[in-house]
Amino acid sequence: MAGWFERIKQGLSRTAAPLVTGIENLLTKRKLDKDALTDIEDLLIMADVGTKTASALTAELAKEKFDKEVTSEEVRTFFADKIAAKLEPFAQELKIDPAKKPFVILMAGVNGAGKTTTIGKMAQQLKDKGLKVSFAAADTFRAAAVEQLKVWGERTGCPVVSKPTGADAAGLVFDALTQARQNGDDVLFIDTAGRLQNRSELMDELQKIIRIIKKQIPDAPHACLQVLDATVGQNAHSQVKIFSETIPVSGLILTKLDGTAKGGVLVALTEEFKLPVYLIGVGEQIDDLRPFKAQDYAKSLMGLTAKETL
Ligand SMILES: Nc1nc2c(ncn2[C@@H]2O[C@H](COP(=O)(O)OP(=O)(O)O)[C@@H](O)[C@H]2O)c(=O)[nH]1
Ligand SMILES: [Mg+2]
């Protein structure tokens, strides 16, 4: 896709900028000594790649380049290659199985992570492929949440099953499933609430939704996607931990990579949870959702240009 790499690079520029200037400053007229390595490790930690990964990457760099003259670009290319290799197995495409009709996708994540927006963006991509898509507005807790999903429904031409605020979310999901089956929809997105303040209530509700889905379609939901706001940095770890203890999270979507200096968190997350990353959000517009490509991400993170993706 034209401009794809530029968009990711621009998105990650806030994460990359301190790394680029930091490493540049460190290595000007200086060999890669012990102090420089410590400082480089700190820069990686500040980009939120995680302490374990930061120290592993720095150790690998030391092994090859210690006491040698290296340029900032060499160091960043070295890291980008290592990071890309780590991420490659997790950069997957979310496959919609046409045998599952509807293919049920449950979207989970804390308030403000980007669930509703991402549903809208994903729906547009699926509609462009000719699929029939509908939404269940199961975030019945906030009136604004239902309205927001309806706006995305109109924008993408997807029917939305909703009920007044405070309605039972699981009951609504049951109705939405029935309707999606009757209409022969290919995909049903279930938007859920994310109020972590009352964790046990929320988690009970999610589990109840899953039980209700299984009453109609035993092998559904076919995907449980956790949406994460990349700007929260290391907090993303506890969020994935909490949600995956409650529901069978099958993959991640990272949003707001365009507005963060913590874009490296994706590296640490995959290392810890070994979950596929299907998509990344790089803006608020409908087409600001991109497949996660390990190479491009790693290069962008290191402020490098991807010549081979042109
Ligand atoms: N910059 C940016 N903003 C995003 C992205 N994804 C979502 N948002 C914004 O984040 C806010 C919360 O998103 P929303 O979908 O309502 O989150 P939800 O509470 O999880 O449903 C909204 O203002 C969205 O426009 C993204 O990738 N980049
Ligand atoms: Mg929402």
DSSP of 99-151, one letter per residue? TSSSEEEEEE-STTSSHHHHHHHHHHHHHHTT--EEEEEE-TT-HHHHHHHHH
Rounded Cα–Cα distance for residues 267 and 24 (Å): 22
Cβ–Cβ < 8 Å for 266, 87: yes
CA distances from 165 to 22, 99, 137, 169, 242 (A): 49, 34, 10, 10, 25
CA distances from 216 to 44, 207, 213, 219 (A): 47, 15, 6, 9
Residue bearing the bigger pLDDT, 40 or 195: 40
pLDDT of amino acid 260: 83
pLDDT category at 281 given cuts 50, 70, 90 is: very high
Cβ–Cβ < 8 Å for 150, 137: yes
Is the full-model pTM beyond 0.85?
A: yes
Q: Indicate whether residue 222 lines ligand 1 (CB < 6 A).
A: no
pLDDT of amino acid 1: 47
Counting ligands in written order, which one lies closest to the CA of residue 281?
Answer: 1
Q: How many angstroms from the chain centroid is the CA of residue 310?
A: 24
For residue range 92-138, list pLDDT tens digits in order. Answer: 999 999 999 999 999 999 999 999 999 999 999 999 999 999 999 99
Q: Indicate whether residue 259 lines ligand 1 (CB < 6 A).
A: yes
Residue 222 alpha carbon to ligand 1 centre in Å: 24
Q: Indicate whether residue 282 lines ligand 1 (CB < 6 A).
A: yes
Q: List the structure tokens of 20.
A: 């680029």
H or E, element range at 279: strand 277-281
- Of 284, 285, 289, 290, the residue with max ligand 1 atoms within 8 A of its CB, to mutate for a pocket test, comes to 284
What number does the ligand 1 atom closest to the CA of 191 have? 21
> Helices (H), strands (E): how many in the chain?
12, 8
pLDDT of amino acid 3: 65
Q: Indicate whether residue 286 lines ligand 1 (CB < 6 A).
A: no
| Lowest mean pLDDT across 98-102, 140-144, 193-197, 208-212 | 193-197
How many CB atoms neighbour CB 46 within 10 A? 17
Counting ligands in written order, which one lies closest to the CA of residue 12?
Answer: 1
Question: What structural domains does the chain harbor?
Answer: 4-90 (1.20.120.140), 103-292 (3.40.50.300)
For residue range 27-41, list pLDDT tens digits in order. Answer: 876 789 999 999 999
Cβ–Cβ < 8 Å for 109, 125: no
pLDDT of amino acid 279: 97
Question: How much of the chain, in percent, has pLDDT values that exceed 90?
Answer: 78
Residue 118 alpha carbon to ligand 1 centre in Å: 8
pLDDT of amino acid 208: 96
pLDDT of amino acid 2: 44
For residue range 227-267, list pLDDT tens digits in order. Answer: 999 999 889 999 999 999 999 999 999 999 988 888 899 99
Q: Indicate whether residue 229 lines ligand 1 (CB < 6 A).
A: no
Residue closest via CA to ligand 1's atom 3 equals 284
pLDDT of amino acid 141: 83
Which residues, 6 or more positions from 265, have their beta carbon under 8 angstroms from its beta carbon?
48, 49, 50, 230, 232, 233, 234, 236, 254
pLDDT at 288 over 90: yes
Q: List the structure tokens of 213.
A: 């889905």
Q: Indicate whether residue 45 lines ligand 1 (CB < 6 A).
A: no
Mean pLDDT along residues 202-222: 95
pLDDT category at 306 given cuts 50, 70, 90 is: low
Residue 137 alpha carbon to ligand 1 centre in Å: 16
Q: List the structure tokens of 52.
A: 């374990």
H or E, element range at 76: helix 72-87
Q: Indicate whether residue 115 lines ligand 1 (CB < 6 A).
A: yes
pLDDT at 307 over 60: no
Counting ligands in written order, which one lies closest to the CA of residue 110?
Answer: 1
pLDDT of amino acid 222: 98
Q: Indicate whether residue 10 lines ligand 1 (CB < 6 A).
A: no
User: Strand 223-229 vs strand 251-255: parallel, antiparallel, or unpaired?
Assistant: parallel
pLDDT at 220 over 70: yes
Residue 284 alpha carbon to ligand 1 centre in Å: 6
pLDDT of amino acid 209: 96
Task: Tell me if the bond preceding 221 is cis, omega within 30° of 0.
Answer: yes
